[in-house]
Amino acid sequence: MKKIISLLAAGTIAAAAVPVAAQAAALPLRIVVNGEKISLPDAQPFVDKSSRAQVPLRFVSQALGAKVDWNSGAKLASVSAASMNVAVTVGKKEYKVNGEKKLMDTAALVKSSRTFVPIRFVSEALGASVNWDKKINTIYIDTTGIGTAKPPATGGTGDEINANGFVIKKEYESKLLVDVSEPSEVKEDGGVIVLILPFGLKGADFERQLVEAEFILKQKIEAKTVDAIIAYAKKKNKRDMELETKKFEDATYKVLVGSAYYSDTAITVILKKY
């Protein structure tokens, strides 16, 4: 695995974040769906602390043509279009797509008595494509694929790429590092990706690294296996500890987790057929 995907220079972080960029900070956040700008006269979309665009819940039904059900007691929003259903709970990063648990790096929230949801996660779960133009602070959504939930194309768009089936960011503010195998390396030894939780980098956020690692792993690996992986990785929370290498596996992957003294924690994902 020869290339670590991470840009650590502070100046590149804002440019890669979706959907906020420093050079566009003076412009209001705009959302364009199928070429048409969507106007919201009262509750306006905004960027949250995780650099994700939050939109009022009714925007989803208005702009994406989806059916929205709101359970005020459970604070649960259920969004349906064609054969897809997305369930998002206020305050929780875990959400469900057709009943399957997934994890995002932000959460739905209530602001000024309005429910807001992360538009990228909801739109892409329904099958729409989402792109961000940082120069004009505008999010473009194409609903052509609504109901099909197609995975991102290799190379990805915006701040994400397809890494041997796992969708990852080009960089993580937590300083999580991702080492991606070349296709030839995957064929040779089955190694897919390595997630590296560094302790020595300035600004490294261990807790957020764990959340982001969990989000990546749960895209392809059984949820209960990932839960066990993250629980074990948490045991090393400072550099002068050793974490004996331990193997976890589901039907498709085996995952090695470990760290030497004064070293970073590595989570290595390998195809089981090798």
Write the pLDDT tens digit of every residue in 143-152.
Answer: 887 755 444 3
Contact yes or no for 44/116 (Cβ under 8 A): no
The CATH 3.30.457.10 domain(s) of the chain lie at 18-145
Residue 6: the pLDDT is 43
CB contact set of 227 (below 8 Å; sequence gap of 6+) = none
Contact yes or no for 14/22 (Cβ under 8 A): yes
Arithmetic mean of pLDDT, 95-121: 88
What Å distances lie between residue 226 and 105, 189, 212, 223, 241, CA to CA? 16, 22, 12, 5, 22
User: Is the predicted pLDDT of residue 154 greater than 50, yes or no?
Assistant: no
Write the pLDDT tens digit of every residue in 130-140.
Answer: 888 878 888 99
Write the pLDDT tens digit of every residue in 178-191.
Answer: 999 888 888 888 89
User: Is the predicted pLDDT of residue 81 greater than 60, yes or no?
Assistant: yes
Please give the class, per CATH, of domain 18-145.
alpha beta
In the numeric block, the tokens 């769906």 are attached to: 33
Residue 28: the pLDDT is 82
In the numeric block, the tokens 């700008």 are attached to: 37
User: Is the predicted pLDDT of residue 3 greater than 70, yes or no?
Assistant: no
Half-sphere exposure of 263 (CA within 13 A, CB side): 13
